Chain A
């Protein structure tokens, strides 16, 4: 999986069943600090065997036990990956009650459950079967596309997808998307989120030039070093904050 360096949020992983275990391994490889919150007794031994350093007990029904995890709401991502959707749902309700603005990611196994989890307060839902079936269908119907997505998104190499939120004073402020030569920089502009138009994704294939403003987010694909060079270029051009843009990834 992609290795992410620099500042990153802490992750609290609720549940250490088969999904939790797999997610722990991948996030660990990517260099995240992870706290594993375990409910079922038997999963402690499993986590210990896998070398999990930071594991704590909790119960999805007890707010007290969740508070005991000492989550820093401003700098944490909460992953609800318990085996049973009913447990996940309860957990999402408890977490949302305790932490209003912390991102909650939950796994689901059907569209119906996704809807319930979203209603309960989860920000992002990953439908296990949806993701895997999409992967299989793409692999059969468009094998080259599947190869490209694997390389850019999933495989551990120097390619990555990155998002950059534009700060005030960079050379992109006020520029039209069409006028910036991303190709020369070795990167591809996939989409932008124009703050003025809400938080909907606008793909670069739309055919219209967009004027970029501070607060907009651009989504890029490219080699890590090219993306970093582009970030550096943005920082260098920033007239208002000479110490550089805030870099999250």
Chain B
């Protein structure tokens, strides 16, 4: 019998282990409940917050008014059902029972003895007990209790539902998370406060409890006074009347000021320490639904200029810099910023490589840029990677490592300098066109597949009418490369995928693009 049962349990565990459907469903619920990066978790969280608020709202209404039956039923059945379901689902996704069973089975097979159900059962219970005793689960459980209407006082536990909100509202959770890091300091502070309240309370009771002060009847009154005074709240309902009592007041007011400043500084320093981390987390969440993100690694002079240029071109971008000061500067300039080492994979995985179209490695250090570029390429070859370096030799190495574009700023400067040597006025013109200083600029437009202009000629584009100057056409060539055809003549036939490069005034460009995309 025992053997049959254990065999059934083990084969059931194997069946679950092998079921992709089961795994998919469990994964879905895990993501929905626990994975902050899952896009639909947000909607679930909002739904839960609404439910909790409605429940607290009903409690408040009930204090003075009679609540309609349907609202009461909603609170009693629907809200409770949602909470119980959520509690059970969380318990389910907390750990995998079948893994525990299969591990135990493997172990017993290895040791050559039968699977013992008793210890296995205890192991499972212990595992789930870890969930049940976690602070969040305790709050969840207490939040279910107010549904038990027989005991009226349990109604106040609805407020635990408000605590439940910590689960769903990220910023509230972050606050708790920050304070958690200063547990030691805050605990010391609390003990110190309790100590002073204890001493001051007893002293006041000793000085004034024997009938000098008609407001101090017992030790509780004295402690209440001590806490109200030390916190600098000072209601004034109990005030010392003897000189000793007043002297005592003066002492604990001064102490209280110190304690409050200490508490403030602990919380503020904790916030500033963790702020960067929280912001990084927020940035990752913000870009979850974006596509074609450009990641700028390094926010030095060059990173700043490139980021600014990309912002003007309305590109989605994230700036990464491991230097806290530079990250701070990027953040202040209004860029989505993450303070991290871009040479490590984890940051790109957190953003999601499928969302990234370009990565620009622009730190001042060649090795670091090479490291970042190779890191990204090794993770995903489809991401277009541009790396900056200071030397042609390094540039060739990087090109060999299939880095899409290698930019040597010194070389570009030198090339510009050389253009100047030949044609100084033309140089000014090129500078000015590139900087888009005038209302004339160079732009491009693609002939989309099945566009009206596919198969038409350059003449059909009627560019002269809009005073657009055609510079050329960039055409894909078989094998993956691209070729620039300088000013093809009017009979040149356009193909889908061709990019027309032209110069024109803003208004004319906009009009032309509209006509082509129509």
Which residues of A are in contact with B by a Cβ distance under 8 Å? 1-2, 4, 8-9, 11, 18-19, 22-23, 25-27, 30, 32, 77, 79, 81, 103, 105, 107, 109-110, 124, 126, 128-145, 147-154, 159, 161-163, 183, 186-191, 193, 201, 203-207, 217, 219, 221-223, 249
Is B336 an interface position by the 8 A CB rule?
no
* Interface contact B405-A148, CB-CB below 8 Å: no
Given A126-B413, A161-B419, A205-B440, A144 contacting B467 (CB threshold 8 A): no
- Max chain A C-beta neighbours (<10 A), residue from B301, B412, B489: B412
* Interface contact B412-A135, CB-CB below 8 Å: yes
Q: How far is the CA of A70 from the CA of B388 in the complex (A)?
A: 38
* Interface contact B487-A183, CB-CB below 8 Å: yes
Q: How far is the CA of A151 from the CA of B428 in the complex (A)?
A: 18
B385-406: CB near A (< 8 Å → 1, else 0) gives 0101011000000000000010
* Interface contact B423-A137, CB-CB below 8 Å: no
* Interface contact A145-B413, CB-CB below 8 Å: no
Is B407 an interface position by the 8 A CB rule?
yes
Given A26-B414, A142-B443, A219-B426, A133 contacting B469 (CB threshold 8 A): no
* Interface contact B418-A128, CB-CB below 8 Å: no
Contact among A1, A142, A159, A201 for B429, CB-based, below 8 A: A201
Is B306 an interface position by the 8 A CB rule?
yes
Which residues of B are in contact with A by a Cβ distance under 8 Å? 294, 301-302, 305-306, 309-310, 313, 315, 358, 360, 362, 384, 386, 388, 390-391, 405, 407-430, 432-435, 438, 440, 442-444, 446, 467-472, 474, 482, 484, 486-487, 489-490, 499-501, 503-505, 508
Q: How far is the CA of A143 from the CA of B391 in the complex (A)?
A: 23
Q: How far is the CA of A138 from the CA of B419 in the complex (A)?
A: 19
- Max chain A C-beta neighbours (<10 A), residue from B417, B446, B471: B417
**Given A144-B501, A188-B471, 12 further pairs, Cβ under 8 A:** A22-B410, A23-B413, A105-B417, A107-B417, A126-B416, A137-B306, A139-B405, A140-B384, A144-B446, A163-B425, A201-B429, A219-B426
Residue of A nearest to B500 (CB): A144
- Max chain B C-beta neighbours (<10 A), residue from A27, A135, A159, A183: A135
Given A136-B386, A144-B444, A222 contacting B487 (CB threshold 8 A): yes
Q: How far is the CA of A143 from the CA of B305 in the complex (A)?
A: 18
Q: List 5 A-B contacts (CB under 8 A).
A: A26-B415, A134-B434, A148-B474, A153-B430, A205-B467
Residue of A nearest to B442 (CB): A145
* Interface contact A19-B413, CB-CB below 8 Å: yes
A166 to chain B, nearest CB (A): 12
Given A22-B410, A132-B302, A161-B430, A205 contacting B423 (CB threshold 8 A): no
State the majority secondary structure of interface residues on B.
mixed
Could you count the A-B residue pairs with CB atoms below 8 Å apart for me: how many are there? 224
Chain A positions within 8 Å of B310 at CB level:
137, 140-141
Q: How far is the CA of A32 from the CA of B253 in the complex (A)?
A: 83
Q: How far is the CA of A24 from the CA of B306 in the complex (A)?
A: 27
B293 to chain A, nearest CB (A): 12
Given A124-B420, A133-B306, A201 contacting B411 (CB threshold 8 A): no
Residue of A nearest to B438 (CB): A203
Residue of A nearest to B392 (CB): A22
Residue of B nearest to A34 (CB): B421
* Interface contact B423-A163, CB-CB below 8 Å: yes
B489 to chain A, nearest CB (A): 8
* Interface contact A147-B484, CB-CB below 8 Å: yes
Contact among B305, B386, B414, B487 for A139, CB-based, below 8 A: B386
* Interface contact B429-A161, CB-CB below 8 Å: yes
* Interface contact A27-B409, CB-CB below 8 Å: no
Q: How far is the CA of A154 from the CA of B499 in the complex (A)?
A: 20
* Interface contact A27-B306, CB-CB below 8 Å: no
Q: How far is the CA of A201 from the CA of B366 in the complex (A)?
A: 38
* Interface contact B503-A190, CB-CB below 8 Å: yes
* Interface contact B467-A207, CB-CB below 8 Å: yes
Chain A positions within 8 Å of B499 at CB level:
143-144
Given A132-B407, A201-B432, A161 contacting B418 (CB threshold 8 A): no
Contact among B409, B426, B490, B503 for A128, CB-based, below 8 A: B409
Chain B positions within 8 Å of A191 at CB level:
429
* Interface contact A18-B415, CB-CB below 8 Å: no
* Interface contact A188-B417, CB-CB below 8 Å: no
Q: How far is the CA of A178 from the CA of B362 in the complex (A)?
A: 44
Given A205-B469, A219-B425, A132 contacting B409 (CB threshold 8 A): yes
Given A132-B409, A249-B423, A159 contacting B486 (CB threshold 8 A): yes
* Interface contact A140-B315, CB-CB below 8 Å: yes
